[in-house]
Amino acid sequence: MAKSPNRESFDKIFEKLREHHKWFENSIPLIASENIPSPAVRETMISDFGNRYAEGWPGERVYAGCTYIDDVEFECMRLAKRLYRAEFADVRPISGVVANLAVYSGFTSPGDVMIAPSIPAGGHISHGKREHHGTAGLVHGLEIEFYPFDAQEMTIDVDKTKQKVKDLKEAGRLPKMAMFGGSLFLFPHPLKELGDFLKGYDIHINYDAAHVAGLIAGRKFQDPLREGADTVTMSTHKTLFGPQGGLVLSSKEHEETIKKAVFPGTTSSHHIHHMAGKAVAFAEALEFGRDYATEVIRNAKALAEALSDIGFKVLGESRGFTESHQIAVNVLEYSDGGKVEADLEKANIIVNRQLIPGDIKAGRNYFHPGGIRLGVSEITRLGMKRDEMQEIASYIGKVIIDKKDPNNILSKVRSFRKDYQRVKFCFESSLGAYEYVKLG
Ligand SMILES: *Cc1c(COP(=O)(O)O)cnc(C)c1O
């Protein structure tokens, strides 16, 4: 009998899912905001927790049926606090954007000013202006001012920022919140240098650790809670061991404000399976996080050096290219970030185009920016080391500098990938990293 159109759609979805898994098994995934979770984290994702509601705080839920959920959530909070040495952790925000929104709601009012990095200077759209549809401006009505940025040093300019804050105060636009952290994030931000100054003006400091959460957990990046941040927001799946989700950290002082801003302010169901997955990821980060973060940063430096050696213009050269999991490359000599992204994808090398300092002034936009951004978290989690970074740099060079047909590089990438099919830095890894799990 012929299949109904519904059944055809149904089958097609699973066909695409399986194709995606196969593709990633054969690719070099270099998106800096992505990572690969352990099989244990994936197991939490398919558990019945994902079908339940547990609104509110564990022990004080709005519905019955939360006995085991509460146990896991208490454990999850204990692990988060231990991992980040924080007095308070709210593990409920369902993503990094929602964590930021909770902090905006808790500590500012619409019309207040926030100072944050601009997007070419590494900022995230959730820190953005209303006219750019940024979350801070569009959803919470914040007015956004940008930090002065030093494109040579690839970080916030301390002296110019101090001057800007003084000028803003003069103009009656003193920021209520200062946002640190970003999406293009090569070097630690000057939190220690600016913290006391900002506090002198009673400015709330939030550090958005979405990208570097796994490096902070491994104690290999700046520690925002020790350097003066009042609150820390993050995604749990970029350098950290995932699942996708968010987290807010603070001292005891801000506990009640954050709790209310998260629920009922910005979540109803907090995606309980993801909460369980975060608990597993935190346990893995406590156990394996230091070794992992050390390897990530070594790999990022090695890949940056290898790319620079073959002729690429890698940003941050004067400072050794990177202190994080990321590398940024100016590709304008060859074409633009959009074209480079597309050419590399044909060779199964997955990167993203990136606005870099100077792009907006030069009239370039997000579709054709001057740069690409690479991240090494996922390939590090798969067990790749320094030799593999050399190899990857040479594939990228062949496609972009030598302009070889990406199809010819594709077969090399596929055979290179064969040996890296398990997730490392986790307790158990019996399932292939991209193995498709069929339940139905
Ligand atoms: C990715 C990112 C976010 C958003 O996180 P989601 O978990 O995708 O909502 C927020 N802030 C920064 C700096 C990011 O890079």
Å from CA of 273 to ligand 1 middle: 20
Report the distance separating Cα 198 and Cα 178, nearest Å.
8
Spatial separation of the C-alpha atoms in residues 440 and 437, rounded to whole Å: 10
Does the pTM surpass 0.85? The reply is: yes
DSSP letter (8 states) at residue 356: -
Strands 28-29 and 349-350: parallel
What is the pLDDT at residue 113? 98
The parts of the chain modelled with pLDDT lower than 70 are none
Predicted pLDDT of residue 327 = 98
Any idea what DSSP says for residue 261? I
The CATH classification number of 42-283 equals 3.40.640.10
Report the pLDDT value the prediction gives residue 324, as an integer from 0 to 100. 98
For residue 127, the ligand 1 atom closest to its alpha carbon is 11
Instruction: Check residue 440 and give its pLDDT.
Output: 82
- One-letter amino acid for residue 94 of the chain: I
The ligand 1 atom nearest the CA atom of 33: 1
Span 131-171, pLDDT tens digits: 999 999 999 999 999 999 999 999 999 999 999 999 999 99
The residues pairing with 250 across neighbouring beta strands, listed in sequence order, are: 88, 231
In this structure, which residue's CA is closest to atom 13 in ligand 1?
Answer: 182
Distance 124 CA to ligand 1 centre (A): 7
Spans of all domains in the chain: 42-283
- 341 close to 333: Cβ distance less than 8 angstroms: no
DSSP per residue, 154-222: TEE-HHHHHHHHHHHHHTT---SEEEE--SS--S---HHHHHHHHHHTT-EEEEE-TTTHHHHHTT-S-
Return the ligand 1 atom nearest residue 181 CA: 13
Evaluate whether 382 touches 302 at the Cβ level (below 8 Å): no
- How far away, in angstroms, is 238 Cα from ligand 1 center? 9
Peptide bond into 190 cis (omega under 30): no
Residue nearest to atom 10 of ligand 1 (CA): 96
Answer yes or no: are the C-beta atoms of 11 and 438 closer than 8 Å. no
What pLDDT was estimated at residue 10?
Answer: 97
All residues at 6 or more sequence positions from 125 whose CB lies less than 8 Å from its CB, including other chains: 119, 132, 133, 134, 135
Residue 207: what pLDDT?
A: 98
Structure tokens at 372: 């690409």
Residues with CB under 6 A from ligand 1: 33, 95-97, 100, 124, 126, 181-183, 208, 210-211, 235, 246
Q: How far is the CA of 96 from the centre of ligand 1 (A)?
A: 5
Average pLDDT over the chain, rounded to an integer = 97
Q: Sort 118 into a burial class: Cβ within 10 Å, 0-12 / 13-18 / 19+.
A: buried
Ligand 1 centroid distance, CA of 131 (Å): 19
